[in-house]
């Protein structure tokens, strides 16, 4: 189709104003003038934020429409499915019913409409409403895409981004867009219109912008999509793909393969072309950073693609991120750890990481080989002589490690608990370290005090430094468990744990781990949100308690537990996070 261009309106600046292409940067425009330019972009973002819980928008089709408007070479893509595809409308309704004000589903839509109207009226000098300007034409799909890698030129920045908003009534959408354009003209913007591939394109230019690129927005309206961008060519290319098809992101085999492991019905999706990023990093970073140890290895292991999804299921919010490793990368080996059986069931926060000793050894080895570290390595030689081993090997006896945080009475406590691979080596290394600390303590000017005590058959060593009053670090080795914590109490709490009183035996933790779906893994993050809230309430000042009980607590009470599990699924490194409500 031949392009047809019609200049609708050009508003000239007053004679005393700076010209369109000033020799020096123009002064910032008044706030009022800026609002028109922010209206389209900010309104779109506001729509996403506002309507994110609009479960009554109706069930949409499973497939998102935005990828049909994007090139297969798109570097990054994210969408929000406010149309609630598949079972997500009912699932989200069930979840929200646990929060204040959402139990009565009959009044839910009118309540949301009123809230959205009040929030959206604050954008662009007021006058915008959700019910009047958005809801009649909005299909519920919103997407953002980076179609190519940005050009890092601060004098003339380029943002290769497109925003896409689904449309169910193009005629009504056009009326809303023209209302925004009228406000743009009233603020001295230049607006032009053209027909292109069956769509309408508007170009809005701010004469006061420092560069034409920074002051330009291009908006296209098709039968089912609004496309917003800064680059006219990118917007036209998007419209062409939507009208004629072709080599689109939706048809990309890499994109399709990345989405396969995800649930079809989801509230949001994001996708990153890791191979494209890797190619750019290899060209831009390696040449400038030659000699950095481990850089080549890191680039070789850079994910080929990264994909993530958000959905609601059975009162849980599920978020999953998958990073597909290249064939040349070494895939970490998952395993089940028994560390949860060594920490108290009363732990509020539990973080588990596997094979820490090996990771530290590899990191220190690479660090020592970095250019300019040679002198420092030589200075460490006497210390390593006293320790009886190299610095990188000093913790090779450490296996899996857990960090726990809890509260006993009104006292918070925290500890690091490690699985010991070799108890003899651990005892020797810790004894050498203890001897060094004792030697330093003999020098009274160092302000170091070391005491020992016995608890549950283990010797606890506690270190205090005069320059840090109130802080004591204690540690103990018992069998194949090493624990270091803040004060003796933290260490004693771990030493007192039995199988029955451990976190691993706690039903709430076990249920959360089952929801996470991978007992064999490479790491875990667990937070008992309900217990954390209860413990925190003890510290709320009496004067603030009534306000907390009325305004905050009803919204916090439904939040029960959160668990994130990291594991391998073939060549995919998976991070699966589950928010459990009650």
Does the pLDDT at position 8 exceed 80?
no
**Residue that has been written with the tokens 């589950």 in this structure:** 578
User: In this predicted model, what pLDDT tens digit does every residue of 407-440 receive, in sequence order?
Assistant: 877 778 899 999 999 999 999 999 888 888 888 7
Does the pLDDT at position 140 exceed 80?
yes
C-alpha distances in Å from residue 378, one per residue of 366, 384, 386, 394: 15, 10, 14, 17
- The mean pLDDT value for 180-209 works out to 92
More confident residue, 288 or 246: 246
Cα 434 to Cα 422: distance, rounded to the nearest angstrom = 18
Return the bridge partners of 482, or none: 418, 477
Q: What does the block give as tokens for 159?
A: 């943002």
User: How many Cβ atoms from other residues are within 10 Å of residue 363's Cβ?
Assistant: 12
**Contact indicator for 528, 498 with CB cutoff of 8 Å:** no
Cα 372 to Cα 202: distance, rounded to the nearest angstrom = 56
pLDDT over 70 for what percent of the chain?
81
**Residue that has been written with the tokens 């831009």 in this structure:** 284
More confident residue, 52 or 363: 363
Does the pLDDT at position 72 exceed 90?
yes
**Residue that has been written with the tokens 């959905």 in this structure:** 311
**Contact indicator for 40, 228 with CB cutoff of 8 Å:** yes
User: In this predicted model, what pLDDT tens digit does every residue of 358-367 receive, in sequence order?
Assistant: 999 888 887 7
**What's the pLDDT band for 152 if we cut at 50, 70, 90?**
low
**Contact indicator for 166, 225 with CB cutoff of 8 Å:** yes
13 CB-near residues (< 8 Å, 6+ apart):
19, 20, 188, 207, 208
Q: Which of 147-151, 177-181, 480-484 has the lowest mean pLDDT?
A: 147-151
| Beta-sheet pairing, 161-167 with 138-146 | antiparallel
Nearest CA among 414, 418, 369, 370 for reference residue 395: 418
Rounded to two decimals, the pTM is 0.82
Q: Which of 162-176, 190-204, 252-266, 442-456 has the lowest mean pLDDT?
A: 442-456
Cα 50 to Cα 91: distance, rounded to the nearest angstrom = 19
User: How many Cβ atoms from other residues are within 10 Å of residue 435's Cβ?
Assistant: 12
Can you give the pLDDT at residue 368? Answer: 77
- The mean pLDDT value for 140-157 works out to 75
Can you give the pLDDT at residue 89? Answer: 85
**Contact indicator for 75, 278 with CB cutoff of 8 Å:** no
Cα 428 to Cα 147: distance, rounded to the nearest angstrom = 57
Cα 290 to Cα 38: distance, rounded to the nearest angstrom = 43
Can you give the pLDDT at residue 21? Answer: 37
Cα 146 to Cα 123: distance, rounded to the nearest angstrom = 25
User: In this predicted model, what pLDDT tens digit does every residue of 293-333 receive, in sequence order?
Assistant: 556 667 778 899 999 999 999 999 999 999 999 988 888 89
Q: What does the block give as tokens for 280?
A: 């750019």
- The mean pLDDT value for 148-154 works out to 64
C-alpha distances in Å from residue 537, one per residue of 138, 406, 541, 552, 559: 42, 14, 9, 11, 15
Does the pLDDT at position 268 exceed 50?
yes
Range of 115-129, 152-166, 212-226, 563-577 with top mean pLDDT: 563-577
In the Cβ-directed half-sphere of 115, how many Cα atoms lie within 13 Å? 15
User: In this predicted model, what pLDDT tens digit does every residue of 510-560 receive, in sequence order?
Assistant: 999 999 888 899 999 999 999 999 999 988 999 999 999 999 999 999 999
Can you give the pLDDT at residue 52? Answer: 42
**What's the pLDDT band for 385 if we cut at 50, 70, 90?**
confident
**What's the pLDDT band for 286 if we cut at 50, 70, 90?**
low
User: In this predicted model, what pLDDT tens digit does every residue of 470-480 receive, in sequence order?
Assistant: 889 999 999 99
Mean pLDDT score of the chain: 83
Which segments of 121-231 does DSSP mark as H helices, in order? 130-133, 170-186
Does the pLDDT at position 231 exceed 50?
yes
User: How many Cβ atoms from other residues are within 10 Å of residue 439's Cβ?
Assistant: 12
DSSP 54: -
**What's the pLDDT band for 17 if we cut at 50, 70, 90?**
very low
């Amino acid at each position: 189709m031949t392009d047809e261009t019609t200049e609708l309106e050009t508003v000239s600046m007053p004679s005393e104003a700076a010209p369109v292409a000033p020799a020096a940067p123009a002064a910032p425009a008044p706030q009022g003038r800026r609002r028109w330019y922010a209206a389209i972009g900010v309104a779109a973002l506001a729509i996403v934020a506002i309507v994110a819980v609009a479960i009554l928008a109706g069930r949409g089709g499973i497939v998102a429409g935005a990828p049909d408007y994007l090139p297969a070479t798109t570097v990054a893509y994210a969408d929000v499915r406010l149309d609630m595809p598949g079972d997500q409308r009912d699932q989200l309704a069930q979840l929200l019913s646990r929060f204040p004000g959402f139990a009565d589903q009959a009044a839910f839509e009118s309540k949301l409409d009123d809230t959205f109207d009040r929030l959206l009226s604050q954008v662009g000098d007021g006058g915008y409403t959700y019910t009047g300007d958005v809801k009649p034409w909005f299909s519920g799909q919103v997407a953002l895409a980076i179609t190519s890698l940005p050009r890092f030129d601060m004098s003339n920045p380029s943002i290769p981004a497109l925003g896409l908003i689904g449309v169910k009534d193009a005629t009504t959408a056009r009326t809303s867009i023209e209302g925004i354009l009228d406000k743009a003209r009233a603020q001295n913007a230049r607006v032009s219109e053209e027909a292109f591939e069956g769509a309408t394109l508007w170009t809005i230019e701010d004469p006061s912008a420092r560069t034409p690129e920074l002051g330009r927005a291009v908006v296209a309206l098709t039968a089912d999509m609004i496309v917003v961008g800064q680059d006219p060519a990118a917007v036209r290319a998007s419209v062409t793909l939507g009208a004629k098809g072709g080599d689109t992101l939706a048809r990309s085999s890499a994109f399709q393969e990345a989405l396969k492991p995800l649930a079809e019905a989801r509230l949001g999706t994001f996708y990153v072309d890791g191979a494209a990023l890797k190619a750019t990093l290899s060209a831009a970073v390696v040449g400038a950073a030659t000699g950095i140890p481990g850089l080549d290895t890191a680039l070789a292991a850079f994910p080929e693609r990264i994909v993530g999804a958000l959905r609601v299921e059975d009162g849980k919010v599920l978020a999953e991120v998958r990073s597909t490793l290249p064939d040349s990368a070494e895939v970490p080996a998952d395993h089940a750890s028994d560390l949860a059986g060594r920490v108290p069931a009363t732990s509020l926060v539990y973080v588990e990481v596997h094979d820490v000793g090996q990771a530290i050894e590899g990191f220190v080895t690479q660090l020592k080989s970095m250019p300019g570290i040679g002198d420092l390595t030589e200075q460490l030689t006497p210390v390593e002589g006293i320790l009886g081993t190299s610095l990188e090997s000093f913790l090779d006896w450490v296996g899996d490690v857990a960090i726990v945080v809890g509260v006993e009475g009104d006292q918070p406590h925290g500890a690091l608990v490690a699985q010991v691979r070799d108890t003899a080596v651990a005892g020797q290394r810790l004894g050498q370290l203890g001897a060094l600390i004792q030697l330093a303590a003999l020098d009274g000017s160092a302000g170091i005090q070391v005491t020992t005590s016995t608890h549950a058959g283990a010797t606890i060593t506690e270190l205090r430094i005069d320059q840090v009053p109130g802080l004591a670090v204690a540690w103990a080795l018992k069998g194949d468990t090493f624990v270091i914590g803040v004060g003796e109490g933290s260490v004693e709490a771990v030493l007192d744990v039995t199988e029955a009183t451990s976190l691993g035996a706690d039903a709430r933790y076990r249920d959360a781990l089952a929801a996470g779906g991978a007992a064999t893994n490479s790491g875990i993050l667990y937070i008992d949100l309900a217990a954390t809230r209860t413990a925190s309430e003890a510290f709320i000042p009496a004067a603030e308690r009534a306000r907390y009980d009325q305004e905050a607590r009803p919204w916090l009470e439904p939040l029960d537990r959160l668990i994130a599990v990291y594991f391998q699924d073939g060549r995919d490194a998976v991070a699966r996070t589950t928010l459990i409500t009650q």
